[in-house]
């Protein structure tokens, strides 16, 4: 019956068989009626009516028969002709016209096929299978047998189908991109690359698959010539070709280096560039040599750019950047470079940078902008750029490994900008960090660290004839680096190494003057950082060790050495006392150095340590050492360095002030006896003519202390004296006599402007003494009158009477009469002793002349010489009784007090003071 079927009926039957996917029957029918069912017609029927869900393998043999034109002999199939046998030819023709068979060619398919029907069918069928059934994974089975049949299909399969198939079905099936083949092929090049790499490196566990993605999707995608364009050499590249998709990948790589550098490092380590490609079973296409060279050069430039962009300052990140650099050198055919750790150990000179101007501050911008442009000298693949990048990476590695994190970009800023202040700050911070990390008892650490820091200054390259140095610390002078290293060695206690490098070495890196100044500065810094004022512990101990570790440089005669020794002595002495300057803060040594008035600290010691005034000599030594340490006169440091350390005037002033402080402290603790002793033995001796007038004027403490002691009133809390010696047995009289001594001292050393106040106090004290003496004399006379002892006497001996002044005799007529009566009576030895003691208590009545002088202000003003004259008569009496110890006490006190009164009152009225030889002549007379 088939032999009589009309062409329309044959077409309708073929369509029926295609709809039901009866490929065998269709193939038999096509082979029997080849003149009607032509190749192109059969392919259109298959394209239009064969369900897209039919497996490609079911009709693959039939397609091969159509491609070769040699059908396979088949037996007659049981074809059901009933569907067309009842149709008329006209009805069949009408139905054929309504079939609307699809054309083999498709407008959105631009693959070169030479209009081959089978090639057009395969491409169109592939798109329909993908679009209608979503069975993209079946297309390799459909197209694989025909890759040699049509070159266009071969390229299209590798560059379009394979990347999309791997992206959605093999590599990331759960994160597929929503593109059909037609949509994917129609994407701009940049968008297509973004789609392919959208999941690459997103998950950290997939970092090991980054190379797979690049060789399995990116490079195959580049094998389509439609994705390349030729450009003139004057445009963006000088290589004649350009790929927008490749440039987009390079930008992706740079962005990953900035945001997730591990992705970039993994990509570079796992992938060798465009030659590293995985085409699967379709490894039958190649890039041209020109394209390959372009990809390699651009890839090398991008890798170098990625190294500059690594944002993390860690050993791992820097080693990753160095791996990138080694990949570039491999791509360029350069010799491999040693690892970073090996480079840090050897510190070899950086090659290919000598006498080159690449380290220019203008190149700083190229580390951040235009990294992929051909005009960028830093990323241009060359020996110069690779060795420069190696120097920067190694510099950043040394800094980071030393404890000072540094990125490659930061190292580049230091090298390119060449800012001396910035470089110096980095050097100082680096050496401080090295000191903090330094292990104990490991000098090799410091030797290696010093070599590294010096290498960072010049990268091992000799200076140019103009003196130009290349390195990240090129602007820092070697002396600055060596000085900081010396500081660090001293701070770390590496004295022997420091001495061997900077004092004993034949080629000394620093001058002796700089070494000396550095040692002194570090020693004082150790002192300032000390928390314990003991010289045997902590910072003070380190300070002491430092200045003693360099006997040739810091000699004992050096002024700075002496000042530091005095400072340590003063501070250590204060450690023996409880001392708190601020609430809750114990005394620290730096307070002594920065205090505006260090002598006042001794006053705080006296306040917080009871009975500490008894250690006056120790405190005086502390004050002396403060002066010698240069703490008192900080405004004259230059003069102090040029002159001897000990300044006599400053020492005297400090000692007088401290003595005054001790006197005041003793008075506050009611220890008048100690205060009196200090005044008599220390203040009295300090006010003689040998003391300069400058010290007298500046001494505003001694006379105040003496005045304060003279104003002290004895009470029940007053410490009792331990012995009386030859003084009065009456404690009140003795106390008044001592007060007068104190006031007399105050008169001698006080400035003229203060004499009036002291005189008033002196007069009141003298009146109190006279009153006490009268009371005591009356009491003793009353005792003598009522005494019933045989041979007793009721009056003082003639010797005692002869020492009384006329004023005293007029004030006590009864005592004088009694003495006259007693002169004619016999005297026993016992009574003589008692009378002698009683007379001793009355020896100070001559002080009434001071009262008359101080009380009669008008008389003193008109006759200023009277006090001296009134004091001369008792002096003549003393000359006749040279063996009488009590008269010496009186005359000494009177002479001192009256001499001061004469000069002081005379100054008030403008009269000249008597000459010393004149008063001496009066005493001789």
Closest CA to 728 of 886, 835, 840: 840
- Domain co-membership, 740 together with 884: yes
Specify the pLDDT at position 148.
83
Closest CA to 894 of 767, 743, 777: 743
Task: Scan for tokens 């610390």, then name that residue.
Answer: 473
Paired with 230 in beta bridges are 241
What's the domain count of the chain?
A: 3
Specify the pLDDT at position 791.
53
Structure tokens of 48? 């239009």
| Structural domain contains residue 902 | yes
Specify the pLDDT at position 790.
55
Given a cut of 90, whether residue 14 has pLDDT beyond it is yes
- Which helix or strand (DSSP H or E) is residue 820 part of? helix 813-823
Specify the pLDDT at position 788.
56
Q: How confident is the model at residue 107 (pLDDT cuts 50, 70, 90)?
A: confident
- Domain co-membership, 764 together with 897: yes
The burial class, CB within 10 Å (0-12 / 13-18 / 19+), for 358 is middle
In whole angstroms, what is the distance from residue 279 CA to residue 162 CA? 8
The burial class, CB within 10 Å (0-12 / 13-18 / 19+), for 909 is exposed
- Helix, coil or strand: residue 472: coil
Given a cut of 90, whether residue 252 has pLDDT beyond it is yes
In whole angstroms, what is the distance from residue 437 CA to residue 516 CA? 26
Choose the weakest-confidence range: 120-134, 554-568, 748-762, 829-843.
829-843
DSSP percent split of the chain into helix, strand, coil, nearest 5 = 65, 0, 35
Paired with 580 in beta bridges are 586
Tell me the angle at which helices 885-909 and 755-785 cross, rounded to the nearest 10 degrees: 150
- Domain co-membership, 631 together with 743: no
Q: What percent of the chain has pLDDT over 70?
A: 79
Q: Residue 480: count other Cβ atoms within 10 Å of its Cβ.
A: 18
- Give pLDDT tens digits for 362-382: 889 999 999 999 999 999 999
Specify the pLDDT at position 644.
52
Specify the pLDDT at position 787.
67
Closest CA to 367 of 348, 393, 399: 393
- Domain co-membership, 738 together with 829: yes
In eight-state DSSP terms, residue 801 is: H
Q: What percent of the chain has pLDDT over 90?
A: 59
Closest CA to 73 of 28, 37, 21: 28
Q: Are 717 and 681 in contact (CB under 8 A)?
A: no
Q: Are 629 and 567 in contact (CB under 8 A)?
A: yes
The mean pLDDT value for 40-51 works out to 95
In whole angstroms, what is the distance from residue 256 CA to residue 202 CA? 10
In whole angstroms, what is the distance from residue 687 CA to residue 448 CA? 64
What is the DSSP secondary-structure string of 37-69?
S-HHHHHHHHHHHS-TTS-HHHHHHHHHHHHHT
Q: Are 367 and 409 in contact (CB under 8 A)?
A: yes
Given a cut of 60, whether residue 897 has pLDDT beyond it is no
Choose the weakest-confidence range: 213-217, 615-619, 633-637, 749-753.
633-637
* Helical spans, DSSP H, in 549-583: 559-574
More confident residue, 436 or 790: 436
- Which helix or strand (DSSP H or E) is residue 205 part of? none
- Domain co-membership, 875 together with 736: yes
More confident residue, 806 or 550: 550
Side-chain-side CA neighbours of residue 136 (13 Å): 23
| Structural domain contains residue 787 | yes
Last residue of a domain, one of 634, 663, 689: 689
Q: Give the mean pLDDT of the chain.
A: 82
Instruction: Taking the CA atoms of 709, 715, 716 and 717 in sequence, report the sign of the dihedral they define.
Output: negative
In whole angstroms, what is the distance from residue 518 CA to residue 486 CA? 8
Residue 633 domain boundaries? 576-689
Specify the pLDDT at position 924.
46
The mean pLDDT value for 768-788 works out to 84
Specify the pLDDT at position 720.
85
- Domain co-membership, 770 together with 837: yes
Closest CA to 265 of 310, 299, 298, 301: 310
Tell me the angle at which helices 23-32 and 39-49 cross, rounded to the nearest 10 degrees: 160
- Domain co-membership, 683 together with 755: no
Specify the pLDDT at position 895.
55
Paired with 241 in beta bridges are 230
Q: What is the distance, to the nearest Å, from the Cα of residue 112 to the centroid of all Cα atoms in its chain?
A: 68
Q: Residue 910: count other Cβ atoms within 10 Å of its Cβ.
A: 7
| Structural domain contains residue 866 | yes
- Give pLDDT tens digits for 418-470: 999 999 999 999 999 999 999 888 889 999 999 999 999 999 998 888 888 89
Q: Are 765 and 739 in contact (CB under 8 A)?
A: yes
- Domain co-membership, 869 together with 816: yes
Q: How confident is the model at residue 77 (pLDDT cuts 50, 70, 90)?
A: low
Specify the pLDDT at position 382.
92
Structure tokens of 647? 């300044």
Given a cut of 80, whether residue 288 has pLDDT beyond it is yes
The mean pLDDT value for 776-798 works out to 66
Given a cut of 70, whether residue 756 has pLDDT beyond it is yes
Q: Are 132 and 52 in contact (CB under 8 A)?
A: yes
More confident residue, 895 or 908: 895
- Give pLDDT tens digits for 495-530: 999 999 999 888 889 999 999 999 999 999 999 999
The mean pLDDT value for 541-570 works out to 92
Given a cut of 80, whether residue 878 has pLDDT beyond it is no
Specify the pLDDT at position 797.
42
Q: How confident is the model at residue 698 (pLDDT cuts 50, 70, 90)?
A: low
Given a cut of 80, whether residue 886 has pLDDT beyond it is no
| Structural domain contains residue 619 | yes
Model pTM? 0.73
The per-residue b/e assignment along 288-312, b for 16 or more CB within 10 angstroms, e otherwise, is eeebeebbbbbbbbbbbbbbbbbee
Specify the pLDDT at position 188.
95
Specify the pLDDT at position 922.
44
Specify the pLDDT at position 444.
93
Within 8 A by CB and 6+ apart from 741, the residues are 676, 679, 680, 893
Last residue of a domain, one of 97, 120, 138: 97
- Which helix or strand (DSSP H or E) is residue 238 part of? none
Given a cut of 80, whether residue 588 has pLDDT beyond it is yes
More confident residue, 78 or 132: 132
Structure tokens of 8? 């329309």
Specify the pLDDT at position 635.
62
What is the DSSP secondary-structure string of 121-150?
HHHHHHHHIIIII--GGGHHHHHGGGTTT-
- Give pLDDT tens digits for 323-356: 999 999 999 998 888 899 999 999 999 988 877 6
- Domain co-membership, 631 together with 772: no
Specify the pLDDT at position 917.
45
The per-residue b/e assignment along 481-511, b for 16 or more CB within 10 angstroms, e otherwise, is bbbbbbbbbbbbbbeebbbebbbeeeeebbe
Taking phi over 0 as left and psi of -120 to 50 as alpha, with beta for the rest, 352 belongs to left
- Domain co-membership, 666 together with 742: no
In whole angstroms, what is the distance from residue 887 CA to residue 883 CA? 9
The burial class, CB within 10 Å (0-12 / 13-18 / 19+), for 65 is middle
Last residue of a domain, one of 659, 689, 719: 689
Specify the pLDDT at position 463.
87
Given a cut of 80, whether residue 636 has pLDDT beyond it is no
| Structural domain contains residue 355 | no
- Domain co-membership, 684 together with 739: no
Given a cut of 90, whether residue 237 has pLDDT beyond it is no
Closest CA to 658 of 708, 599, 615: 599
Specify the pLDDT at position 856.
40
Q: Are 350 and 459 in contact (CB under 8 A)?
A: yes
Structure tokens of 919? 């008063």
| Structural domain contains residue 773 | yes
Given a cut of 90, whether residue 281 has pLDDT beyond it is no
- Give pLDDT tens digits for 834-851: 443 443 333 333 333 334
- Give pLDDT tens digits for 403-415: 999 999 999 999 9
More confident residue, 80 or 923: 80
In eight-state DSSP terms, residue 266 is: H
Q: How confident is the model at residue 742 (pLDDT cuts 50, 70, 90)?
A: very high
Specify the pLDDT at position 649.
86
In eight-state DSSP terms, residue 506 is: S
- Domain co-membership, 732 together with 685: no
Radius of gyration of the chain (CA): 57
| Structural domain contains residue 198 | no
Instruction: Taking the CA atoms of 240, 241, 246 and 247 in sequence, report the sign of the dihedral they define.
Output: positive
CA dist list (Å): 902 to 600, 693, 889, 912: 35, 19, 20, 9
Specify the pLDDT at position 180.
94
Structure tokens of 760? 């008033």
């Amino acid at each position: 019956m088939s032999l009589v079927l009309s062409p329309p009926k044959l077409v309708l039957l073929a369509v029926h068989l295609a709809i039901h996917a009866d490929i065998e029957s269709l193939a038999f029918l096509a082979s029997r009626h080849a003149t009607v069912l032509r190749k192109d017609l059969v392919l259109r029927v298959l394209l239009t009516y064969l369900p897209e869900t039919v497996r490609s393998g079911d009709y693959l043999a039939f397609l091969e028969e159509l491609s070769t034109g040699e059908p396979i002999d088949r037996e007659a199939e049981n074809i059901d002709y009933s569907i067309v046998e009842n149709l008329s030819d006209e009805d069949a023709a009408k139905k054929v016209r309504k079939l609307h068979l699809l054309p083999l060619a498709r407008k959105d398919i631009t693959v070169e096929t030479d209009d081959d029907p089978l090639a057009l069918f395969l491409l169109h069928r592939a798109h329909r299978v993908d679009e209608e059934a979503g069975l993209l994974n079946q297309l390799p089975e459909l197209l694989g047998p025909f890759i040699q049949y049509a070159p266009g299909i071969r390229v299209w399969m590798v560059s379009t189908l394979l990347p999309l198939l791997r992206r959605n079905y093999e590599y990331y099936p759960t994160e597929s991109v929503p593109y059909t083949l037609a949509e994917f092929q129609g994407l701009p090049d940049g968008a297509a690359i973004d789609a392919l790499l959208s999941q690459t490196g997103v998950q950290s566990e997939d970092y090991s698959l980054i190379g797979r993605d690049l060789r399995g999707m990116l490079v195959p995608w580049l094998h389509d010539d439609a994705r390349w364009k030729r450009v003139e050499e004057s445009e963006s590249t000088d290589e004649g070709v350009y790929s927008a998709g490749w440039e987009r990948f390079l930008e992706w790589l740079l962005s990953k280096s900035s945001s997730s550098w591990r992705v970039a490092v993994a990509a570079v380590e796992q992938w060798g560039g465009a030659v590293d490609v995985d085409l699967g079973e379709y490894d039958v296409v190649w890039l041209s040599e020109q394209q390959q060279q372009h990809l390699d050069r651009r890839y090398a430039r991008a890798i170098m750019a990625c190294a500059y962009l690594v944002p993390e300052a860690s050993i791992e990140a820097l080693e990753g950047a160095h791996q990138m650099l080694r990949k570039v050198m491999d791509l360029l055919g350069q010799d491999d470079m040693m690892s970073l750790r090996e480079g840090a150990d050897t510190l070899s000179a950086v090659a290919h940078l000598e006498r080159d101007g690449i380290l220019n501050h203008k190149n700083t911008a190229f580390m951040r902008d235009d990294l992929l442009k051909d005009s960028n000298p830093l990323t241009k693949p060359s020996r110069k750029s690779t060795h420069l990048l190696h120097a920067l990476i190694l510099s950043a590695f040394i800094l980071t490994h030393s404890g000072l994190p540094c990125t490659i970009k930061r190292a580049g800023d230091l090298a390119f900008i060449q800012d001396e202040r910035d470089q110096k700050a980095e050097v100082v911070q680096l050496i401080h960090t090295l000191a903090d990390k330094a292990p104990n008892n490991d000098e090799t650490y410091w030797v290696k660290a010093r070599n590294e820091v010096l290498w960072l200054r010049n990268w091992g390259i000799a200076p140019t004839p103009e003196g130009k140095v290349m390195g990240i610390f090129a602007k820092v002078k070697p002396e600055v680096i060596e000085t900081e290293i010396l500081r660090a060695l001293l701070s770390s206690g590496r004295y022997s190494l420091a001495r061997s490098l900077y004092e004993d070495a034949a080629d000394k890196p620093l001058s002796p003057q700089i070494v000396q100044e550095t040692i002194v500065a570090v020693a004082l810094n150790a002192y300032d950082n000390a928390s314990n004022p003991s010289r045997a512990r902590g910072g003070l101990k380190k300070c002491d060790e430092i200045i003693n570790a360099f006997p040739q440089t810091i000699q004992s005669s050096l002024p700075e050495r002496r000042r530091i020794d005095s400072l340590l002595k003063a501070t250590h002495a204060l450690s023996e006392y409880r001392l708190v300057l601020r609430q809750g803060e114990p005394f620290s040594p730096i307070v002594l150095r920065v205090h505006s008035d260090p002598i006042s600290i001794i006053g705080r010691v006296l306040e917080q340590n009871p009975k500490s005034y008894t250690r006056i000599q120790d405190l005086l030594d502390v004050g002396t050492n403060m002066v010698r340490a240069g703490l008192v006169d900080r405004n004259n440091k230059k003069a102090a360095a040029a002159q001897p350390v000990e300044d006599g005037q400053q020492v005297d002033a400090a000692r007088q002030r401290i003595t005054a402080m001790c006197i005041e402290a003793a008075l506050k603790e009611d220890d008048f006896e100690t205060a009196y002793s200090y005044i008599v033995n220390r203040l009295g001796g300090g006010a003689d003519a040998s003391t300069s007038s400058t010290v007298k004027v500046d001494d505003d403490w001694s006379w105040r202390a003496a005045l304060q002691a003279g104003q002290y009133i004895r009470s029940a809390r007053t410490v009792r004296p331990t012995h009386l010696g030859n003084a009065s047995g009456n404690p009140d009289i003795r106390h008044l006599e001592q007060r007068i001594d104190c006031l007399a001292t105050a008169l001698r050393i006080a400035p003229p402007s203060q004499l009036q106040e002291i005189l008033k106090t002196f007069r009141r004290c003298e009146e109190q003494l006279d009153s006490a003496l009268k009371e005591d004399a009356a009491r003793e006379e009353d005792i003598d009158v009522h005494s019933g002892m045989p041979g007793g006497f009721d009056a003082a001996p003639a010797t005692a009477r002869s020492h009384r002044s006329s004023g005293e005799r007029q004030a006590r007529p009864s005592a004088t009469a009694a003495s006259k009566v007693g002169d004619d009576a016999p005297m026993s030895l016992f009574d003589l002793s008692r009378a002698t003691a009683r007379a001793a208590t009355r020896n100070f009545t001559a002080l009434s002349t001071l009262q008359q002088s101080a009380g009669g202000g008008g008389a003193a003003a008109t006759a200023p010489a009277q006090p001296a004259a009134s004091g001369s008569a008792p002096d003549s009496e003393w000359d006749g009784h040279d063996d009488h110890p009590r008269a010496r006490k009186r005359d000494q006190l009177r002479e001192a007090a009256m001499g001061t009164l004469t000069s002081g009152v005379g100054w008030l009225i403008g009269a000249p003071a008597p000459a010393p030889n004149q008063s001496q002549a009066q005493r001789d007379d």
